[in-house]
Homo-oligomer: A and B are copies of this chain.
């Protein structure tokens, strides 16, 4: 498509933009034109930011977060509680929990969840590293912040079993009604969990 409209450089930009999540071929073309119209303010700086990121981003060898330093910003932060490790499936979950600023602990990115269908076995995940970190004397609680899916919960059970011999608490996120959520839009499973785990008012 559109080969004749513009040089190969622009077509290449459109094709690469179309591979971003949330952009299809049409919106990639719109984004490319938006960028081209703002060459100085946006196109140049964004290209430069990507070059810097591509060069400098590394995976934290301690927790699995991505950052431009190793250990990452979270692991280096001395003000954080080193007795708590929050276990997440992926980096997006870590970032989401940090945005919520709900806990000032450490993290551990499993880089996936166990899945019989997708052939993901324990050795594919950062589970050994988690057990090693959990065995450190300073660790006192492991919070399993895994998705409330079948695979997420299977992984949670598997990890809990591995940690059973260690002198620490293993907890998981509460299930319940999302804040701001309306009851009649919620599924039965959530409503049942919210009732079962009801709190004194």
Contacts and interface: CB of A to CB of B under 8 A. Distances in A.
Interface of A: 1-2, 4-7, 9-10, 12-13, 16-17, 19-23, 27, 29-31, 33-37, 39, 42-54, 56-57, 65-69, 72-74, 77, 91-92, 94-95, 98-99
Given A4-B74, A16-B49, 4 more contacts: A6-B95, A9-B53, A12-B49, A20-B34
A16 B34 contact: no
B4 A73 contact: yes
A48 B43 CA distance: 11
A43 B54 contact: yes
Contacts of A33: 66, 91-92, 95
Mostly, the A contact residues are: helix
A57 B10 contact: yes
Contacts of A43: 50, 53-54
Contacts of A47: 47-51, 53-54
A20 B31 contact: yes
Copies of this chain, complex-wide, total 2
A5 B74 contact: yes
A13 B53 contact: yes
Contacts of A16: 42, 45-46, 49
A30 B92 contact: yes
A1 to B, nearest CB: 5
A96 to B, nearest CB: 9
A48 B94 CA distance: 29
A21 B50 contact: no
A29 B37 CA distance: 23
Contact of A67 (B10, B13, B17, B95): B10
